[in-house]
């Protein structure tokens, strides 16, 4: 211990539920959130659902002293809703927009308009480079028949790709946000296994907060209890994840969540609970550690292969569904076109038989024509939309296939060879990557 | 030299101009391209504008022996058009979609529908990890009045971010593609300065190809000479860029381009020329090199600050333009709405004065109403589109502001302190990142 430098970092993550004119008591809640953040002075604050630029600017003004550095990630029609406030200078930011995010015609769910994404900020804690990520995945509206599952799995896939590929040079990696996934959900397992990120709640030496670390609790007055069923007490879908590097060890000394009510206030900060993790970063002065257990590495790889294969299956289900929807859209479009031709033909008969009286009432004629055009426009837009969805799903499926091939090859290198030598051996016949 | 391992890698990049039913002689040209690739056996082949899945599958079948590994990057409505073929196993791929890519109503230019992106593939050359990127930026249709310039600058910005952040762990970085930028264009300078990538054409020890390395030559029968004006002979807009790492030095021993005509064939491979670079990767066995000249590093940083500032100005121009367009769209929409109300009012007068004759001819009434609805729909869609464009431009501008602040702080650390210590000194008053 004498040979290590230690830094403590406090991180907060909160879904602010900041839908103007829809969310309840938005202004008062932002004032409460601002007061709390000002007082608590976390090193890094990761917020979701800060949909309005005005609300972000309100917080920015309020936190000018405690958190002089901030960034609001912009994306889509109404923004990504993601914001970061920091005591430490933000050196850079980068945004990755998920390729899939629900359906535009599901306006009541609204996710599509939000431009869901993962935002990254590069900070420095002393001499340590930290990559901090904030994200918000597509909501789950019905657990039994979750039509958005393939979209969320693809989002989790892209999230792990983004984090893994962009965090190679970082000493510390922190990810906070509303993942809309239960701890054992496929997307969550995919994210944690592939990136090596660890869950603050599971790792915390000490925890103070809602039972089972729940972040969406049934007692919250803003929550419709019916929607939580069959989870009577609540669910855990918000996370603060972290990992270190060869240079730095990270430990979670303490984790807490808010517990619904706020003293001296009639309602809580949001419909979600806020999470706070106290992370201890330890840097060994003697240089990078080298500890690897090939057996456990092989076991983890095998588990990862299973998880990616499961994700691939889920994406394939989404592919079939999108293909069926596109087919329905095109069939409806063809029917609209046929109806239009039929109408024109009926109208044309007396016109061709010069002088004959027009039997088609004018009003009905125009209304029917307008209906046909509406059907054609809607189905054309849907066709284009489903084509885009198909491309994204196929793309993710292709990437997963390649990844599984590569992981399996690596796995074949255990325990005889080290992972980075695995590529030197030819794969067994019939097991090429293009299977 | 005795202490280094050396590997030679041959890379090809070609924009295939593969728009089905629009491009000329597509099938024959793909057959020619396939024959050439099969014979030449490049290590890595980076293709752009492979729009059709069928054409990709045709090439995949044809190159099954020479290039057993391949990936077609899927995105947008008709795909990204990007493909990679490799002699070496592709371990992973990842796709970043640019946030801006032209306008959907500019259908004659078609870029918007293409889902332009940058694709990344992780390969291994022996023990070296190589990150290979392929991309295609928005075309330039009129150099004097280039309304797409802000979009292309934002694409170049996102491209450099993606390459820089995802390539930290790579021993070798290779980027090939049709950048649609001249060598001295802002986007190109931004990409090269920020990432440290080097231009094969400028670095090649030996070059054989079109004059000045041009890749879009006036003699090409598929090119409209008028569009090239004022560049009579042609322009250089396709590139193969590369860089090494602390572990690996990369040199370009030879570079060539095709020269328009192909022996025994009546037309060339494409409207672009194909580029081939022979890269020599040298790994020092004694471990990483450490050579840094603080003076030249400071000079480069200062140059980078200027370039990012220039890019920020260009994005601001785009912002003003998008704001104006959105304003025009909303004004037109309001006028459409006013027209509809006026029409309804005129029609309602006789209806209210019961029994009076309807002075409005039915046909005109319905046609006018349809026109109003069409105006309203179109302007609503445009308003949404311009809002998305504004968000993306604002996002890029925010990121550039942060980056300039961070770079300037780094710069203030020269030559007294090394760059990685710069953050320890407080910035001078009034120069915070939020200026």
User: Tens digits of per-residue pLDDT, A374-408?
Assistant: 999 999 999 999 999 999 999 999 999 999 999 99
| Higher pLDDT, residue B152 or A140 | B152
Chain-chain contact of B124 with A423 (C-beta, under 8 angstroms)? yes
Give dist(CA B410, CA B419) in Å, integer: 6
- pLDDT at A232 exceeding the cut of 90: no
pLDDT of residue A290: 57
Contact partners, residue A90, CB within 8 Å, separation at least 6 = A69, A70, A71, A84, A121, A122, A123, B402, B406, B433
For chain A, what are the domain ranges? 6-289, 300-350+363-413
Closest to B126 in 3D by CA, of B155, B154, B87: B87
Give dist(CA B411, CA B164) in Å, integer: 19
Closest-CA distance, A67 to chain B, in angstroms, reads: 12
Give dist(CA A73, CA A83) in Å, integer: 6
Complete DSSP assignment for A28-53 = HHHHHHHHHHHHH--SEEEEE----H
Chain-chain contact of A402 with B92 (C-beta, under 8 angstroms)? yes
CA torsion through residues B177, B183, B189, B193, sign: positive
Q: How many helices (H) and strands (E) does chain A have?
A: 8, 15
Q: pLDDT tens for residues B268-311? A: 999 999 999 999 999 977 666 655 576 788 888 999 999 999 99
Q: Which residue has the tokens 């890379």?
A: B11
Closest-CA distance, A329 to chain B, in angstroms, reads: 16
Letter string b/e over residues A282-309, b meaning 16 or more CB atoms within 10 A of that residue's CB? bbeeeeeeeeeeeeebbeebeebbebbe
Mean pLDDT of chain B: 88
Contact, A65 vs A40, CB < 8 A?
no
Give the strand pairing for B44-48 and B4-15.
Answer: parallel
- pLDDT at B393 exceeding the cut of 80: yes
Measure CA of the first residue to CA of the last residue in chain B; give whole Å. Answer: 51
Partners of B403 on chain A (C-beta within 8 Å) are 91-92
CA torsion through residues A291, A294, A295, A299, sign: positive
Residue of B nearest to A60 (CA): B434
Q: pLDDT tens for residues A291-340? A: 557 678 888 899 999 999 999 999 999 999 999 999 999 999 999 999 99
Contact, B98 vs B155, CB < 8 A?
yes
pTM of the model: 0.90
Give dist(CA B376, CA B118) in Å, integer: 36
Structure confidence at residue B432 as a pLDDT band (50, 70, 90): very low
pLDDT of residue A430: 41
Structure confidence at residue B110 as a pLDDT band (50, 70, 90): confident
pLDDT of residue B285: 72
Closest to A362 in 3D by CA, of A338, A343, A377: A343
Q: pLDDT tens for residues A328-365? A: 999 999 999 999 999 888 888 777 776 556 666 777 88
pLDDT of residue B424: 40
pLDDT of residue B291: 56
Chain-chain contact of A402 with B124 (C-beta, under 8 angstroms)? no
The reply to whether A72 belongs to the active site is no
pLDDT of residue A235: 94
Structure confidence at residue B359 as a pLDDT band (50, 70, 90): low
Q: pLDDT tens for residues A71-111? A: 999 988 888 999 999 999 999 999 999 999 888 888 777 78
pLDDT of residue B161: 97
Catalytic residue among B265, B272, B320, B423: B272
Chain-chain contact of B165 with A165 (C-beta, under 8 angstroms)? yes
- Counting residues of chain A whose pLDDT is more than 90, the rounded percentage is 69
- pLDDT at A432 exceeding the cut of 50: no
Q: How many CB atoms lie within 10 A of CB A187?
A: 25
Catalytic residue among A42, A72, A138, A272: A272
Taking each helix axis as running N to C, give the angle between helix A149-166 and helix A294-352, from 0 to 180 degrees, rounded to the nearest 10. 130
Structure confidence at residue B102 as a pLDDT band (50, 70, 90): confident
Q: How far does CA B183 lie from the centroid of its chain?
A: 14
Query: Rounded mean pLDDT of B427-431?
Result: 43
Query: Rounded mean pLDDT of A162-171?
Result: 96
pLDDT of residue A76: 83
* Bridge partners, residue A130, by sequence: A123, A172
Under DSSP, the state recorded for B281 is E
Measure CA of the first residue to CA of the last residue in chain A; give whole Å. Answer: 50
In the sheet that A198-199 helps form, which strands lie side by side, from edge to edge?
A90-97, A117-125, A128-136, A172-178, A238-243, A198-199
- pLDDT at A233 exceeding the cut of 50: yes
| Higher pLDDT, residue A38 or B298 | A38
Closest-CA distance, A1 to chain B, in angstroms, reads: 25
- Counting residues of chain B whose pLDDT is more than 70, the rounded percentage is 91
Q: pLDDT tens for residues A63-73? A: 999 999 999 99
Closest to B130 in 3D by CA, of B250, B41, B42, B12: B250
Contact partners, residue A401, CB within 8 Å, separation at least 6 = A312, A433, A435
Element (H, E) at B385: helix B362-412
Lowest mean pLDDT among A417-421, B90-94, B116-120: A417-421
Chain-chain contact of A398 with B71 (C-beta, under 8 angstroms)? yes
Lowest mean pLDDT among A158-167, A252-261, B110-119, B301-310: B110-119
3-state secondary structure of B96: strand
Is B6-289 in CATH node 3.60.10.10?
yes
pLDDT of residue B346: 84
Tell whether omega for the bond before A358 is within 30 degrees of 0, i.e. cis. no
pLDDT of residue A292: 59
* Bridge partners, residue B284, by sequence: B4
Partners of B362 on chain A (C-beta within 8 Å) are 362-363
Under DSSP, the state recorded for B183 is T
pLDDT of residue A267: 93
Under DSSP, the state recorded for A211 is G
Chain-chain contact of B99 with A99 (C-beta, under 8 angstroms)? no
Contact, A213 vs A207, CB < 8 A?
yes
> Between vectors from CA B65 to CA B131 and to CA B26, what angle results, nearest 5°?
85
Partners of B434 on chain A (C-beta within 8 Å) are 60, 68-70
Mean pLDDT of chain A: 88
CA torsion through residues B122, B126, B128, B130, sign: negative
- pLDDT at A421 exceeding the cut of 70: no
Partners of B384 on chain A (C-beta within 8 Å) are 77
Closest to A8 in 3D by CA, of A277, A275, A281, A284: A281
> Which of B75, B363, B405 is opposite residue A395, by nearest beta carbon?
B75
Contact, B100 vs B151, CB < 8 A?
yes
């Amino acid at each position: 211990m004498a040979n290590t430098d230690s830094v403590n970092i406090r991180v907060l993550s909160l879904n602010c539920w900041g839908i103007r004119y829809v969310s309840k008591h938005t202004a008062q809640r932002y004032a409460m959130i601002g007061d709390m953040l000002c007082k608590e002075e976390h090193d890094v604050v990761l917020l979701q659902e800060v949909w309005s630029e005005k609300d972000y600017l309100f917080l920015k003004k309020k936190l000018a002293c405690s958190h002089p550095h901030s960034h609001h990630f912009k994306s889509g029609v109404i923004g990504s809703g993601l914001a970061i406030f920091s005591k430490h200078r933000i050196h850079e930011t980068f945004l990755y927009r998920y390729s899939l995010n629900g359906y535009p015609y599901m306006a009541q769910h609204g996710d599509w308009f939000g431009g869901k994404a993962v935002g990254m900020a590069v900070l420095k804690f002393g001499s340590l480079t930290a990559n901090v990520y904030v994200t918000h995945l597509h909501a789950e509206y019905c657990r039994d028949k979750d039509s958005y599952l393939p979209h969320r799995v693809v989002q989790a896939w892209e999230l792990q790709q983004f984090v893994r590929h962009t965090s190679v040079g970082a000493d510390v990696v922190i990810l906070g946000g509303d993942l809309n996934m239960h701890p054992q959900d496929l997307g969550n397992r995919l994210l944690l296994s592939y990136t090596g990120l660890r869950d603050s709640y599971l790792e915390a030496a000490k925890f103070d907060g809602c039972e089972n670390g729940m972040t969406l609790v049934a007692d919250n007055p803003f929550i419709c209890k019916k929607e939580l069923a069959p989870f009577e007490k609540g669910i855990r879908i918000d996370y603060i994840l972290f990992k270190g590097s060869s240079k730095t060890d990270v430990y979670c000394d303490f984790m807490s969540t808010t517990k619904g009510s706020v003293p001296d206030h009639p309602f809580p900060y949001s419909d979600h609970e806020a999470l706070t993790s106290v992370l201890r970063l330890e840097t060994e002065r003697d240089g990078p550690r080298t500890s690897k257990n090939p057996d456990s590495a092989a076991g983890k790889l095998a588990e990862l292969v299973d998880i990616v294969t499961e994700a691939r299956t889920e994406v394939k289900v989404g592919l079939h569904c999108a293909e069926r929807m596109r087919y329905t859209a095109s069939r409806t479009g063809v029917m609209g076109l046929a109806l239009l031709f039929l109408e024109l033909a009926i109208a044309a008969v007396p016109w061709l038989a010069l002088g004959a009286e027009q039997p088609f009432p004018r009003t009905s004629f125009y209304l029917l024509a307008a209906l046909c055009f509406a059907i054609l426009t809607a189905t054309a837009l849907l066709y284009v939309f489903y084509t885009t969805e198909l491309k994204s799903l196929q793309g993710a499926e292709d990437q997963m296939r390649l990844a599984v091939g590569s992981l399996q090859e690596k796995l074949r290198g255990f325990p005889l060879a080290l992972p980075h030598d695995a590529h030197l051996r030819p794969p067994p016949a019939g097991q090429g990557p293009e299977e």
